[in-house]
Amino acid sequence: MTVEYDLVVIGASAAGIAAAKTAAAYHARVALMRRQVDHHLARARAVGRRGIGLSRANAMDSAR
């Protein structure tokens, strides 16, 4: 299955989440990437249309 995004944000810091939130507010399909505990990049679920809410994205950022 191929998934297309309008924007991929690397880093789930406060700035990354703000960028993803702003783009999603303009109906962009956004993927938010964050680093796992073992320091490998892992794709987070999409933010915005058909994706997770930003409260869950904020929780992921807080868990780092």
**Which pTM value belongs to this model?**
0.56
Tens-digit pLDDT profile for residues 25-64: 999 999 988 876 555 545 555 555 545 444 555 444 454 4
Question: % helix / strand / coil in the chain, to the nearest 5?
Answer: 35, 30, 40
Task: Read off the tokens for 43.
Answer: 């794709």
pLDDT in tens, 43-53: 555 555 545 44
State the DSSP H helix or E strand holding residue 58, giving kind and residue range, or none if neither: helix 54-63
Whole-angstrom distance, CA of residue 62 vs CA of residue 64: 6
The CB density around residue 51, as the number of other CB atoms within 10 Å, is: 19
At residue 41, the 3 state secondary structure works out as: strand
